[in-house]
Amino acid sequence: MAVRKIIEIDESKCDGCGDCVSACAEGAIKIINGKAKLINDILCDGFGACLGDCHSGALKIVEREAPEFDETAVARHLAAQQAAVPTAHAPAGGGCPGSAMRQFNGPPQPAAPQPASPVQGGSQPAYPSLLNHWPIQLMLVPPGAPFLHGADLVVCADCVPFTVPDFHPRYLNGKAVLVGCPKLDDLSFYFEKLEAIFAQAKPSRITVLRMEVPCCGGIAQAAVQAREKAAPEVPLEVHTIGVRGGIHLETVDSPVK
């Protein structure tokens, strides 16, 4: 037993929607008698990926005495969940099938798009995606995700892809990506999650993509400070993207002020 961060659920505020169940990659939360319950302390990593999905404010992270988080127990728990559900509907993330962790193996694709109409029928896209893993939301990706290990890592504000026409070949080819919104999400959570990712995954390189608007600076601040604490030897660049185009590159050797 140790004093550590862990989720706490206020049942008086919980309406039983189940969104937190879908958001928990470890399957630590379950709806029981119409209320969300933490079913076992050892399944909760304390990073709070479920917080952003709770619209009723029933969830918060507290520090209390609890058994240590147990990744082996999580693996057994998720395997048991999958075995109990038909394969076509089995949620690898402990709730929503869409949050299941996936890695798309294979060599990086050519940067140039195939010459074809951007709208086609059938399963073959005109412009092949260079995304090589799922999920991509920082709130959902666990620090131990295999696609993060030693990766050329991109930490991206979620408005950036809409302003960079060649986003896939420029920033996704052969890279892992984490996406979030520093305006709408909890920056303290971003810092703690990124610190854990950098410490565990040991990325080979970090590129932070932010918009030029002031509120977007938080994602760069969180990433740079987490890098300084967990992996100061890893090179890091911040790319500031203009609302109407243009990219300013900054090599960062100290935290963003």
- Note whether residue 116 is domain-resident: no
User: Predicted confidence band at 1 (pLDDT cuts at 50, 70, 90)?
Assistant: confident
pTM passes above 0.75: no
Last residue of a domain, one of 98, 116, 146: 98
- Note whether residue 150 is domain-resident: yes
pLDDT in tens, 34-85: 889 999 999 999 988 888 878 888 999 999 999 999 999 998 988 887 765 4
Domain of residue 213, CATH code: 3.40.50
Q: Half-sphere exposure of 94 toward its Cβ, with a 13 Å CA cutoff?
A: 28
> What total number of domains does the chain contain?
2
Q: What's the pLDDT score for residue 194?
A: 95
Residue 192 has pLDDT above 50, yes or no: yes
Phi, psi of 46 (to 5 degrees): 80, 5
Of these ranges, 99-103, 105-109, 155-159, the one predicted with the greatest mean pLDDT is: 155-159
Residue 127 has pLDDT above 80, yes or no: no
Domain containing 32 equals 2-98
CB contact at 8 A, 191 and 225? yes
Last residue of a domain, one of 98, 122, 149: 98
Q: Are residues 210 and 150 in the same domain?
A: yes
- Please state at what angle helix 187-201 crosses helix 217-230, rounded to 10 degrees: 40
pLDDT in tens, 136-151: 999 888 888 899 999 9
Q: What's the pLDDT score for residue 189?
A: 86
DSSP line for 208-239: EEEESSGGGHHHHHHHHHHHHHH-TTS-EEEE
